[in-house]
């Protein structure tokens, strides 16, 4: 409902309804507003609702989708249908790294096979992710909602975290969340039982109580445009490039044309995946073009 925020007290039972609150006028004067994931101080009002009085300092903040205090991003990608898109995966990772949030790569829909056997496409996609992303420090989980594979490991990984699930439409995020939370019945682009309330389309960012942690199922990651990222920051959002940049001859090296560039040297020696560097070049060109136009 417009103008309302739904607040759950820290000591509330898992099945307890959140309290419907409005934000104090002071926030509007400051140009601030509570975000999903905020820790707030509130007081109950006479009509059984509440008023948000203050917002605690945030450990992280994402602009699109607007969520705060996320400390883990689960990037859900399918090994087949839709075909794994490494460029989109790297774009997600750039945004997550820029926000200084830890990331887990979750490969879903292992059940999409021909006659019960793993397809060549699925094997290639899985091997590519393991080969490229595990060596640079990303945790990879393989899951199947239908077969229950990997869901226990993912559930354990989410405990104690305020996490965000993100990925292409149709990769199985809703099915995965349904498998994690007994009684949760997410439908395509719809959420039910979120914090005890009814169905809403995923235009609204809300938290799902998964027992021991929360997940924000978000639609906004489908439109990533680097609006909040500066050109000079892009290299630091590629973990392997950030580690090598101190060895570049020039401070502020763009890793595109400068001599004695440690990143390009590592690329030539096979120490950086060509797909990662190619996507870096594509993103840099995209950012430069937008800067030129605007």
Does 212 belong to an annotated binding site?
A: no
Does 275 belong to an annotated binding site?
A: no
What number of CA atoms fall less than 13 Å from residue 25's CA on the CB side? 0
Does 175 belong to an annotated binding site?
A: yes
Return the residue matching tokens 């996320």.
70
To 10 degrees, the CA torsion angle through 25, 34, 46, 197? 140
Beta bridge partners of 207: 216
Strands 19-23 and 40-44, sheet pairing: unpaired
Does 109 belong to an annotated binding site?
A: yes
Return the residue matching tokens 């309302």.
4
Does 116 belong to an annotated binding site?
A: no
CB 21 within 8 A of CB 42: yes
Return the H-helix or E-strand segment holding 72.
strand 72-78
Does 110 belong to an annotated binding site?
A: yes
Does 171 belong to an annotated binding site?
A: yes
Helices 274-293 and 86-98, axial angle in degrees (round to 10): 70
Does 269 belong to an annotated binding site?
A: no
d(CA 160, CA 2): 30
d(CA 188, CA 169): 9
CB 228 within 8 A of CB 61: no
Does 173 belong to an annotated binding site?
A: yes
- CA 51, distance to chain mean position in Å, is 30
Does 261 belong to an annotated binding site?
A: yes
d(CA 171, CA 167): 7
Does 255 belong to an annotated binding site?
A: yes
Does 78 belong to an annotated binding site?
A: no
- Report the binding-site residues for Zn(2+): 248, 253, 255, 261
- Report the binding-site residues for GTP: 108-111, 167-175
- Report the binding-site residues: 108-111, 167-175, 248, 253, 255, 261
């Amino acid at each position: 409902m417009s103008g309302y925020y739904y607040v759950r007290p820290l000591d509330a039972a898992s099945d307890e309804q959140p309290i419907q609150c409005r934000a104090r006028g002071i926030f509007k004067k400051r140009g601030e507003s509570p975000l999903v994931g905020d820790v707030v101080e509130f007081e109950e009002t006479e009509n059984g609702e509440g008023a948000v009085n203050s917002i605690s300092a945030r450990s992280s903040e994402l602009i699109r989708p607007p969520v705060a205090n996320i400390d883990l991003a689960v990037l859900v990608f399918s090994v087949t249908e839709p075909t794994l898109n490494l460029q989109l995966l790297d774009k997600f990772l750039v945004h997550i790294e820029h926000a200084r949030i830890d990331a887990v790569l979750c490969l879903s829909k292992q059940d999409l096979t021909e006659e019960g056997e793993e397809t060549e496409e699925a094997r290639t996609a899985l091997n590519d992710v393991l080969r490229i992303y595990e060596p640079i420090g990303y945790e990879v989980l393989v899951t199947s909602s239908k077969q229950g594979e990997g869901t226990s490991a993912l559930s354990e990984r989410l405990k104690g975290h305020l996490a965000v699930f993100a990925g292409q439409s149709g990769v199985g995020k809703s099915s995965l969340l349904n498998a994690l939370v007994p009684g949760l019945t997410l439908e395509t682009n719809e959420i039910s039982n979120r914090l005890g309330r009814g169905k809403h389309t995923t235009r609204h960012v809300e938290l799902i109580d998964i027992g021991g942690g929360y997940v924000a199922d978000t639609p906004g990651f489908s439109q990533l445009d680097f609006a909040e990222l500066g050109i000079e920051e892009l290299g630091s959002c590629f973990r392997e490039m950030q580690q090598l940049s101190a060895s570049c001859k020039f401070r502020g090296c763009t890793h595109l044309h400068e001599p004695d560039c440690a990143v390009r040297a590592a690329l030539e020696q096979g120490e950086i995946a060509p797909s990662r560097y190619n996507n870096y070049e594509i993103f840099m060109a995209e950012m430069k073009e937008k800067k030129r136009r605007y």
